[in-house]
């Protein structure tokens, strides 16, 4: 089954404790992206990658890191999480022909205390 | 400028009604227009995708784009309780862009279909 998977689905952590949210897709997609979704603010792009070893900042990159060492994986790293990073996070991927047709993962609900 | 405006709702209608969801935008460079549907506790999924102006129909769903007015609509006929979800409009100037050239999303309209 073609899909984007994220882990963990739910995470409660404390300020300053480094964490990684994994994202993996099995569709051989070039494009991958991370979004956060907050009430009243909608979906905002954090980082995106158009190919292996190529990453770029989105609208709200501060406090986040990403890497793209393999085509299928695009982890999101929070080196020192803060409460304002409490949010719902989505990973998405898209194929070569059209990056507008994005396939989203199930989401990760992160709470930073 | 990337702004896309979308009424957040909630919009509550009885089963069987025709639903109209709308977005306005300011960037005249947008050419590709999408509607994503997001069920509660799920990721968005692409529902409708149109290029430039005109209409596209898929079953009970019709997407309409009016570039001259910078206005897009999604119509749902014979609405069902299973259509209850948040509907996000999205648009872009290119097919293969990222960042500022990638997708710009509206904030979403929460739709409730009452049985």
Q: What is the pLDDT of residue A45?
A: 95
What CA dihedral angle connects B93, B99, B104 and B108, to 10 degrees? 160
Q: Which residue has the tokens 């990159």?
A: A61
Q: Which residue has the tokens 């994005």?
A: A102
Verify whether the Cβ–Cβ distance A104 to B44 is below 8 Å.
Answer: yes
Verify whether the Cβ–Cβ distance B102 to A40 is below 8 Å.
Answer: no
DSSP string across A61-109: -TT-EE--SSSSB--EEESS--GGG-EEEEEEEE-SS-TTS-EE---EE
Q: How many residues does chain B have?
A: 115
State the burial class of residue B76 (Cβ atoms within 10 Å of its Cβ: 0-12, 13-18, 19+): buried
Tokens representing residue B8 in the block: 């957040």
- Is the distance from CB of B8 to CB of B96 less than 8 angstroms? no
Q: What is the pLDDT of residue B2?
A: 55
| Strand partners for B76 | B19, B61
Substitution target from A89, A98, A102, A103 for chain B, most B beta carbons within 10 A: A102
pLDDT in tens, A9-38: 999 999 999 999 999 999 999 999 999 999
Is the per-residue pLDDT at A94 higher than 70?
yes
Q: Coil, strand, or helix at residue B12? A: strand
Verify whether the Cβ–Cβ distance A43 to B44 is below 8 Å.
Answer: yes
Verify whether the Cβ–Cβ distance B102 to A45 is below 8 Å.
Answer: yes
For B42, nearest residue in chain A (alpha carbons) = A106
Share of chain B above pLDDT 90, in %: 85
Backbone angles phi, psi at B103, to 5 degrees: -70, 135
Verify whether the Cβ–Cβ distance B97 to A40 is below 8 Å.
Answer: no
pLDDT in tens, A35-85: 999 998 999 999 999 999 999 999 999 999 999 999 999 999 999 999 999
Backbone angles phi, psi at A112, to 5 degrees: -110, 120
How far is it, in rounded angstroms, from Cα A91 to Cα A104?
A: 6
Query: For chains A and B, what is the number of CB pairs under 8 angstroms?
Result: 63
What mean pLDDT comes out for the span B2-7? 86
Q: Which stretches of chain B sit within 8 Å of chain A by CB?
A: 8, 32, 34, 41-46, 49, 88, 90, 92, 95-99, 102-103, 105-108
Substitution target from A42, A87, A105 for chain B, most B beta carbons within 10 A: A42
- Alpha-carbon distance B75 to nearest alpha carbon in chain A (angstroms): 20
How far is it, in rounded angstroms, from Cα B99 to Cα B93?
A: 11
B3 falls in which pLDDT band (50, 70, 90)?
A: confident
pLDDT in tens, B31-43: 999 999 999 999 9
How far is it, in rounded angstroms, from Cα A54 to Cα B41?
A: 30
Helices (H) and strands (E) in chain B, counts: 0, 11
Neighbours of A24 (CB within 10 A): 18
């Amino acid at each position: 089954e073609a899909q984007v998977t994220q882990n963990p689905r739910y995470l409660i952590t404390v300020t300053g404790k480094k964490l990684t949210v994994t994202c993996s897709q099995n569709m051989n997609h070039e494009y991958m992206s991370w979004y956060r979704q907050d009430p009243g603010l909608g979906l905002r792009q954090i980082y995106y990658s158009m190919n292996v070893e190529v990453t770029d900042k989105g609208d709200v990159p501060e406090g986040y890191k990403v890497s793209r060492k393999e085509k299928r994986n695009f982890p999101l790293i929070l080196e020192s999480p803060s409460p304002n990073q409490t949010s719902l996070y989505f990973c998405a991927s898209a194929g070569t022909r059209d990056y507008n047709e994005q396939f989203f993962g199930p989401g990760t609900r992160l709470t930073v205390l | 400028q990337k702004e896309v405006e979308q009424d957040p709702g909630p919009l509550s209608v009885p089963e069987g009604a025709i639903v109209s969801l709308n977005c306005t935008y300011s960037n005249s460079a947008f050419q590709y227009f999408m509607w994503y549907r997001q069920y509660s506790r799920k990721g968005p999924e692409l529902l409708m995708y149109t290029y430039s102006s005109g209409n596209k129909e898929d079953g009970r769903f019709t997407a309409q784009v009016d570039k001259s007015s910078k206005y897009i609509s999604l119509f749902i006929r014979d609405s069902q309780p299973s259509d209850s979800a948040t509907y996000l409009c999205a648009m872009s100037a290119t097919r293969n862009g990222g960042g500022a050239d990638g997708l710009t999303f509206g904030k979403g309209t929460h739709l409730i279909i009452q049985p």
